[in-house]
Homo-oligomer: A and B are copies of this chain.
Amino acid sequence: MLSNACKYAIRSILYLAINSSEDNKIGVKIIAEELETPQPFLAKLLQQLTRDKLVSSTKGPNGGFYLDSKNRKNAIWDVIISIDGTSKFDNCFLGLAKCDDRNPCPVHFIVSPFKDKILSSFRDKTIDEYVVEIKNTNRVISLKDLDLFENEDS
C-alpha cells in the first residue's frame, strides 16, 4: 500500500515529533540509526519533506532536522501526499479501473471500510494529536523499541 520511502518518511516524522524540538535538532545519521533505515536514502526523503515544509532543518554544527509548531499542525496524510501521492488509496484493490460502491469488485466492501478508517486516522489528526495518542497507548515507532514487553506475558 505504502512505498518503503513513504514508510520511512512517516516513521521519521513521528520520530521527530516525539524526540526533536527547536532546541534539539537531530541529524540524519541519528535518525537513520534509530529507525534502521538506509541513511542517504532517508536524507533524500527528509530533503523532500523540508521542501514541502513538513519538517524544518538548519545546516551547520548543532544543525539537523526538527519540527516547529507549524509543522506539528500538519497531518500524516500530508507526508503521504508529499512522498507517494494519493493514488494508492484511490485505486481498486484488484486493479480495476474504478473503485466505487456502484461497481464493486469482489473485495470492495471489505477493503473500503478499512480505507476510510486508515484515511481518517492519517488525515483528520494533526501530528501533535497523533503523538499524544502514541504516547497514551504505548505504540512502537522505531525498531529498537520492539519487544518492550518481552518478559511480561499477559
Range for the number of chain A residues in contact with chain B? 35 or more
Q: Which residues of B contact A95 (CB under 8 A)?
A: 2, 4, 7-8, 11
Known A106-B133, A147-B103: A140·B96 in contact at CB below 8 Å: yes
Q: Of all chain B residues, which has the CB nearest A131?
A: B106
Q: Which residues of B contact A43 (CB under 8 A)?
A: none
Q: Of all chain B residues, which has the CB nearest A154?
A: B102
What is the bound-complex CA distance between A148 and B134, given in angstroms? 44
Determine whether the beta carbon of B96 is less than 8 Å from that of A149: no
Copy total for this chain: 2
Identify A141's interface contact among B4, B105, B130, CB under 8 A: B105
Which residues of A in the span 70-94 have a Cβ within 8 Å of any Cβ on B? 93-94
Determine whether the beta carbon of B140 is less than 8 Å from that of A104: yes
Determine whether the beta carbon of B103 is less than 8 Å from that of A140: yes
Least Cβ–Cβ distance between A154 and chain B, in angstroms: 8
A residues neighboring B (CB under 8 Å): 1-2, 4, 7-8, 10-11, 14, 36, 93-98, 102-108, 110-111, 114, 117-118, 121, 130, 133-134, 139-141, 143, 145-149
